[in-house]
A and B are shown apart, each in its own frame.
Chain A
Amino acid sequence: MTKLTTEEVKHVATLARLAITEEEAEKFAEQLGKITGYVEQLSELDTTNVEPTTHVLPLVNVMRKDVAEKGLDRDKMLLNVKEHEDGQVKVPAIMD
Chain B
Amino acid sequence: MTLFKRSAQELQAAIHNGELTIVELTKEAFARIEKLDDSVKAFLTLNKEAALTQAEEMDKVPMAERGPLFGLPIGIKDNIVTEGIETTCASKMLEGFMPIYDATVMEKIKAAGMIIIGKINMDEFAMGSSNENSAFKTTTNPWNSAHVPGGSSGGSAAAVAAGEVPFALGSDTGGSIRQPAAYCGVVGMKPTYGRVSRSGLVAFASSLDQIGPITNNVADNAALLEVIAGLDAKDSTSANVEVAKYTEALTNDIKGLRVAVPKEFLGEGVGEAAKKSVEEAIEVLKSLGATVEEVSLPHSKYALAAYYILSSSEASSNLSRFDGIRYGYRTENAKNLLELYTKSRAEGFGDEVKLRIMLGTYSLSAGSYDAYYKKAQQVRTLIKEDYDKVFENFDVIIGPTTPTPAFKIGENVDDPLTMYANDILTIPMNLAGVPAISIPCGFEAGLPLGLQIIGKHFDEATIYRTAHAFEQATAFHKQKPQMWEGN
* A15 and B361 contact, CB distance less than 8 A: yes
Per a CB cutoff under 8 Å, which of B239, B338, B372 touches A39?
A: B372
Q: Which residues of B contact A89 (CB under 8 A)?
A: 325-326
Is the CB of B380 closer than 8 A to any CB of chain A?
A: yes
* A47 and B378 contact, CB distance less than 8 A: yes
CA distance A50 to B375 in the complex (A): 9
* A62 and B417 contact, CB distance less than 8 A: no
- Known A-B contacts A34-B416, A55-B433; the reply to A15 vs B325 at CB < 8 A is no
Is the CB of B346 closer than 8 A to any CB of chain A?
A: yes
| A81 smallest CB distance to B (angstroms) | 6
Is the CB of A77 closer than 8 A to any CB of chain B?
A: yes
Per a CB cutoff under 8 Å, which of B325, B358, B433 touches A13?
A: B358
Per a CB cutoff under 8 Å, which of B302, B323, B365, B432 touches A56?
A: B432
Is the CB of A51 closer than 8 A to any CB of chain B?
A: yes
- Number of residue pairs A-B, CB distance < 8 angstroms: 162
* A80 and B326 contact, CB distance less than 8 A: yes
* A45 and B382 contact, CB distance less than 8 A: yes
CA distance A55 to B306 in the complex (A): 13
Is the CB of A87 closer than 8 A to any CB of chain B?
A: no
* A45 and B355 contact, CB distance less than 8 A: no
| B280 smallest CB distance to A (angstroms) | 32
* B345 and A19 contact, CB distance less than 8 A: yes
Is the CB of A16 closer than 8 A to any CB of chain B?
A: yes
CA distance A41 to B457 in the complex (A): 28
CA distance A42 to B357 in the complex (A): 21
B362 (CB) vs chain A CBs: closest residue: A12
| A86 smallest CB distance to B (angstroms) | 16
Is the CB of B251 closer than 8 A to any CB of chain A?
A: no
Q: Which residues of A contact B345 (CB under 8 A)?
A: 16-19
Q: Which residues of B contact A92 (CB under 8 A)?
A: 334-337, 339-340
Per a CB cutoff under 8 Å, which of A16, A20, A31, A62 touches B236?
A: A62
Q: How large is the interface on A (under 10, 10 to 19, 20 to 34, 35 or more residues)?
A: 35 or more
* A35 and B325 contact, CB distance less than 8 A: no
Q: Which residues of B contact A95 (CB under 8 A)?
A: 336
* A19 and B342 contact, CB distance less than 8 A: yes
Contacts of B368-387 to chain A: CB distance below 8 A? 371-372, 374-382, 384
| A46 smallest CB distance to B (angstroms) | 10
* A50 and B382 contact, CB distance less than 8 A: yes
Is the CB of B320 closer than 8 A to any CB of chain A?
A: yes
- Known A-B contacts A45-B382, A56-B433; the reply to A18 vs B354 at CB < 8 A is yes
A80 (CB) vs chain B CBs: closest residue: B327
CA distance A52 to B372 in the complex (A): 12
Interface string of B96-125 (1 = CB under 8 A from A): 011011000000000000000000000000
* B336 and A12 contact, CB distance less than 8 A: no
B208 (CB) vs chain A CBs: closest residue: A55
A93 (CB) vs chain B CBs: closest residue: B336
B430 (CB) vs chain A CBs: closest residue: A56
Q: Which residues of B contact A45 (CB under 8 A)?
A: 299, 302, 378-379, 382
* B336 and A94 contact, CB distance less than 8 A: yes
* B316 and A31 contact, CB distance less than 8 A: no
CA distance A31 to B336 in the complex (A): 30
Contacts of A1-41 to chain B: CB distance below 8 A? 1, 4, 9, 12-13, 15-20, 28, 31-32, 34-36, 38-39, 41
| A9 smallest CB distance to B (angstroms) | 7
CA distance A45 to B371 in the complex (A): 12
CA distance A64 to B234 in the complex (A): 10
CA distance A77 to B98 in the complex (A): 10
* B380 and A52 contact, CB distance less than 8 A: yes
B193 (CB) vs chain A CBs: closest residue: A56
B329 (CB) vs chain A CBs: closest residue: A82
Interface string of B293-308 (1 = CB under 8 A from A): 0000001011011101
* A18 and B381 contact, CB distance less than 8 A: no
Is the CB of B136 closer than 8 A to any CB of chain A?
A: no
- Known A-B contacts A38-B305, A45-B382, A54-B207; the reply to A91 vs B433 at CB < 8 A is no
Is the CB of A76 closer than 8 A to any CB of chain B?
A: yes
CA distance A82 to B329 in the complex (A): 8
Is the CB of B260 closer than 8 A to any CB of chain A?
A: no
CA distance A76 to B371 in the complex (A): 44
Is the CB of B144 closer than 8 A to any CB of chain A?
A: no
A47 (CB) vs chain B CBs: closest residue: B378
* B330 and A82 contact, CB distance less than 8 A: yes
Is the CB of A66 closer than 8 A to any CB of chain B?
A: no
Is the CB of B443 closer than 8 A to any CB of chain A?
A: no
* B358 and A56 contact, CB distance less than 8 A: no
| B70 smallest CB distance to A (angstroms) | 29
Is the CB of A57 closer than 8 A to any CB of chain B?
A: yes
Q: Name 6 interchain pairs, CB-CB below 8 A, sorted by A.
A: A12-B358, A19-B342, A53-B380, A56-B433, A57-B194, A92-B335
- Shortest Cβ-Cβ A-B pairs, 5 listed: A56-B433, A52-B377, A80-B327, A47-B378, A55-B207
Binding site for A on B (CB under 8 A): 97-98, 100-101, 193-194, 206-207, 233, 236-237, 239, 299, 301-302, 304-306, 308-309, 316, 320, 323-328, 330, 334-343, 345-346, 349, 354-355, 357-359, 361-362, 365, 371-372, 374-382, 384, 416-417, 431-433, 457
